[in-house]
Structure 1
């Protein structure tokens, strides 16, 4: 996790991005990334993008949202169908 956090901070320091976020990470992984960033004095992830379906909300984990101020965006809100 430390390598990921350091890598994303390098991208920001180079001016290639303003912020960084995650996609499809588990809540525990986001919490770990925030804690690593805090410990090293680096930039935390600011958002997470996750697949969301109103009929199956089990993929959405809000434990870290208020604690670490990470925002959620969603994709495939109508669900994914595999043929």
Structure 2
């Protein structure tokens, strides 16, 4: 799942996701600096289907808040001035 967090805190969003899927969420060991969690699940596979019984869901939140936006790092100093 990819989520765009427009307001609020990632920790609270992850708590709400954990409640919704009724599973504990774990940090992803390879991406500890990201807002990335996983949950492990088992399912009943319909007859004739080849789905795995066990599967892992990934949850990645992209925080899109004004407080984190610093567009000056995206452009060279003169690029913004020249376009005005």
- Please say whether Structure 1 and Structure 2 have the same fold, judged by a TM-score greater than 0.5: no
Structure with greater strand percent: 2
State the TM-score, normalizing by the size of structure 2: 0.30
> Greater relative contact order (Cα 8 A, min sep 6): structure 1 or 2?
2
Structure with greater helix percent: 1
State the TM-score, normalizing by the size of structure 1: 0.30
Larger Rg: 2
